[in-house]
Amino acid sequence: MFTDRIESKWIDAFQHQFTLCGIQSGDTVAILSESQSRQLNVHLSELALGLLGARTFHIVVPTPRQTAPVPVRSTGASQAIGNLAPVVSALASSTMVVDVTVEGLLHAPELPQILKGGARVMMISNEHPEVLERLPSDPALQPKVRAGLKKLRGAKQMKVTSAAGTDLTVHVEGAPIGGTWGFAEKPGMVAHWPGGLCLCFPKSGTVSGKVVLAPGDLNLTFKRYIETPVTLTIENDFIMRIEGTGVDVALFQSYMDAWGDRNAYAVSHAGWGMNPKARWDTLVCYDKAHVNGTEARAFAGNFLFSTGANETAGRYTEGHFDLPMRGCTIALDSEVVVDKGVLQGELA
């Protein structure tokens, strides 16, 4: 479908992204990649940064050995650095880190130390640049995401319902809140491209209810659309029952069971998408090797429900599902912020 060659339009897209990050002539920028990184994105990053006059250097590490019992996909928790102190030090002392690792640094164990050093991290999702070209970051999204994060930070409870049968309660008071508008313009920030998310990492024992994955919802670990309903019954953060018929429920159950780890059945994070340019239906247009599913996580009005690791609750596991769901209603206390999949009020 694609010819992996440098296109001037892709250099322009990357340059636009780094300009929004505030990169100026003379800034030191580390491009972090691994042996299995998408080399086209590595090269585009270097060329775009060069046009901005940045002092760019590469850190390339070997892709780690596969140790999990099943393929690990779309975790946002790269193991590539492997706690190598010289690598962490070099990244932390940079103005910005362009993260083009396969899985990304969002939940990597080294990220806090890198940010503490004053660097900011711009994650370039492991997508073909044709995906990124369609989704240039927009500064107009920033105040809307900030407004959503403010509402989430001030709420005590998130209630999620749907016509398919979802009825989930998340006690969000005191839970760490996170989000991104798609670019990292200040020290200590981390963002991913494309952006547009508001979410929280619930504390231990704060999530209960039912999640029903309906046809057209997405399973981004498998990079496929749900075709037959999958019902998840959750008690005190953990999936206790997985019910349904068909291949979707069988795949879901089999992958979770493969880890042999109770934490793989736990809730990781919950929130909603904010990006009006992102779409739920584009996954069908790409080969799986060309996408990481970041667009599907961010499309406006989706309920992003995730399972697996949650550092806030003291749970760690490589087993992970990101499950963007359509048509859900999300209420923060008494305020509906998403109504049947449509952003409301100042978030729209």
Give residue-wise pLDDT tens across range 234-259: 999 999 999 999 999 999 999 999 99
Q: Is the pLDDT of residue 30 over 70?
A: yes
Whole-angstrom CA distances from 313 to 110, 175, 304 are 19, 10, 18
pLDDT in tens, 285-335: 999 999 999 999 999 999 999 999 898 898 988 899 999 999 999 999 999
Domain boundaries in the chain?
8-134, 141-347
Pick the CATH number of 8-134 from 3.40.50.720, 3.40.50.620, 3.40.50.2300, 3.40.50.300: 3.40.50.2300
Considering only CA atoms, which of 304, 287, 314 is closest in space to residue 338?
A: 304
Between CA 127 and CA 21 the distance in angstroms is 19
What 3-state class would DSSP assign to 267?
strand
pTM attached to this predicted model: 0.95
Helix (H) or strand (E) holding 45: helix 39-51
